Structure 1
């Protein structure tokens, strides 16, 4: 299936790194409103350039437009794509406003097209292991989830010097303006929604906790750099999701059930370590040793081994992934969308599910100006 990429910034190189995993996807060409950035990206990857967004839309061979523009441009580019009769794969969020996101989904349905959104990490092999453990009933009925999306104190790092493979600068100032919740909560929300269904309501809090993020940030309007929300799922499960960029890195997920727990160490790792602790099973030796040492010393030991036993993966597949910290198969979502289109089906993370995840991310990010608790209006 022929695809085109619109937006050749920092994240586009992640997609190019994993595109080779899917020989069924053919990249027809790329476009960016910055001519200099477009030339640099196309030359590095040896790609065809479109000279305008209209040229992308007019190409009859392109079936999916991959929208990797800045979040403020997602709505307009996706709308233009659908109006041109093409399917959309959009980076998160689907739009910066819930009503705009709903308009995109409504337009796609009216035109019998698909609009799918990133991230693709909930299509990972780690997700498959965790989902299988749940389906097998290894921890009984899941009751409570702790999800962390802490990216570390990025603003204290040397981010102005960060560059992608093809030379794109990491858009630090723009990331601070958009906020860590809109940028990162989707990595957890996609897992939560796919495993446990739709959310009925949430109670959240968000704030700008570090208004001074160093030289060059004095004159920008900061989005919340911290948010925490408690999500009430229609199934009865409760989840707490925290997003931030000041606390130490932590992208883990812990699912607590009647009979045990499942821990995923890193939601950004396609083959993250996944542990299952069954309450009826003997505890690991390392856990028993640390517990006894605490009792003997009479004080808390901050480091402990992950509860449970690590689940083994099948034989490793031959796929290319970006280097740490984003070891996600970014193109897996596009490939899943292409397969669904060929089968005449809706991709899992498309349409109403995409809208639902977008609403949740927006509600978490904007919690400081929304009445609480927040009643979720979308569903699937």
Structure 2
């Protein structure tokens, strides 16, 4: 049994609480938040212990891993304090808002012999395992090109001011718009890509604030709500990654190989369907039927059909509890993997150098860096052996 503690009880903390029951080897010792009213609300709803202050949490010798669920601008300071107190850390993305701060906490963790892991955990899913297995068995030959989409739709036009978590936390829309969709969302695609294809050696990106009016205080400096990156991996695979808050919702991942393609329907779904196609058989029976109808009537139907045949990612085993749509991810999965690695005496993949590399990449994408060569990432290999 590994005891953990939360720092931060905002909107995302409820996602972690929802999926805690999937991991009986983890025990939540307590939580703390600088907002005393929110802390009381969270503890009353979930019936968990509240620490008197941050120091009381750090002084709890039973706690082995601290889960940093604070706002991104607080990540560096909280990570540093927890590491200095001798705690392993699991941090929501990114590790820090500046690369030098991220490097500093990664170095501190290494010096103290501690693990510093970073969300998201969606690359530890059934869908990922099935996708990686299809790649490793050569179903599409050598992968060459990737299209990754992290478009969340125009949420700023929705009634986001009234969105609430299970325990009543407000969705932090103003904070999300200030941090930007790239820092918030690019990691869901990059964690998959780095896991499958390894380190990135070159990146060219462009980012922009296209919709400055999002219904928040005009004095707030908002981050880019659009970015596109062209990414080259060390093994030669090329990828295009887009992030946005305006285009229709699309969180798909397409990998094109010498002899076929694999399409993941939704990076936010741990059980997402996967579509496999081979040259000459890209169009399914349904797609061919729809094409016939469109030609027959001379108009495009408002229906999207993914090419190829659907292959399931479902696996036998205990059914897991996941948050409701759209965030159908086992958020506690990354912490469970970190705890298991500590117990087994190994280094979890999404820690240290990998976590730092992912942070560097999202910061470069968000800044719209051109002709960027990452400083990190040359000391690890992908988990997928076929890469």
The two structures have a TM-score, normalised by structure 2, of 0.94
1-structure distance, mates of 2:295, 2:11: 49
1-structure distance, mates of 2:299, 2:46: 55
Deviates more, 1:272-281 or 1:174-183: 272-281
Q: CA offset at residue 298 of structure 1? A: 5.7
From the superposition, tell whether residues 26 and 255 of structure 1 become closer, same or farther in structure 2 (CA, over 3 Å). Answer: same
Aligned residues of 2:282 and 2:308 also touching (Cα < 8 A): no
5 Å matches for 1:140-159? Answer: 140-159=141-160
User: Structure 2 stretches of 5 or more lacking a match?
Assistant: 381-387
Deviates more, 1:310-319 or 1:123-132: 310-319
Q: CA offset at residue 283 of structure 1? A: 4.5
Aligned to 1:204: 205
Aligned residues of 1:145 and 1:256 also touching (Cα < 8 A): yes
Q: CA offset at residue 292 of structure 1? A: 3.6
Q: CA offset at residue 203 of structure 1? A: 0.6
Aligned residues of 1:290 and 1:304 also touching (Cα < 8 A): no
1-structure distance, mates of 2:304, 2:31: 47
User: Structure 1 stretches of 5 or more lacking a match?
Assistant: none
- 1:378 correspondence with 2:376: yes
- Describe the superposition over 1:239-287 as per-residue Cα deviations: whole angstroms up to 9, x where unpaired: 0000011111111101111111100011000101111112265842112
Aligned residues of 2:143 and 2:258 also touching (Cα < 8 A): yes
Deviates more, 1:267-276 or 1:285-294: 285-294
- 1:309 correspondence with 2:309: yes
Aligned to 1:217: 217
- Describe the superposition over 1:181-238 as per-residue Cα deviations: whole angstroms up to 9, x where unpaired: 0000000000000011110011100000001112x33221010000000001111111
Aligned to 2:337: 336
Aligned to 2:190: 189
Aligned residues of 2:126 and 2:315 also touching (Cα < 8 A): no
Aligned to 1:258: 258
2-structure distance, mates of 1:105, 1:187: 21
Aligned residues of 2:274 and 2:311 also touching (Cα < 8 A): yes
1-structure distance, mates of 2:200, 2:297: 44
CA RMSD, Structure 1 to Structure 2 (Å)? 1.4
- Describe the superposition over 1:63-82 as per-residue Cα deviations: whole angstroms up to 9, x where unpaired: 00000001011111111111
Residue 192 of structure 2: SS of its match in structure 1? helix
Which 4+ stretches in 1 moved above 6 angstroms? Answer: none
5 Å matches for 1:159-170? Answer: 159-170=160-171
- Describe the superposition over 1:25-69 as per-residue Cα deviations: whole angstroms up to 9, x where unpaired: 000000001111111111111111111111111110000000000
Aligned residues of 1:277 and 1:308 also touching (Cα < 8 A): yes
Aligned to 1:239: 239
Aligned residues of 2:228 and 2:243 also touching (Cα < 8 A): yes
- 1:228 correspondence with 2:228: yes
Q: CA offset at residue 101 of structure 1? A: 0.5
Aligned to 1:277: 277
Aligned residues of 2:121 and 2:330 also touching (Cα < 8 A): yes
1-structure distance, mates of 2:282, 2:244: 36
Aligned residues of 2:282 and 2:307 also touching (Cα < 8 A): no
From the superposition, tell whether residues 305 and 219 of structure 1 become closer, same or farther in structure 2 (CA, over 3 Å). Answer: same
Residue 358 of structure 1: SS of its match in structure 2? helix
1-structure distance, mates of 2:282, 2:347: 43
5 Å matches for 1:62-141? Answer: 62-141=63-142
Q: CA offset at residue 324 of structure 1? A: 0.4
2-structure distance, mates of 1:40, 1:167: 8
Residue 375 of structure 1: SS of its match in structure 2? coil
Deviates more, 1:190-199 or 1:314-323: 314-323
Aligned to 1:47: 48
2-structure distance, mates of 1:337, 1:23: 14
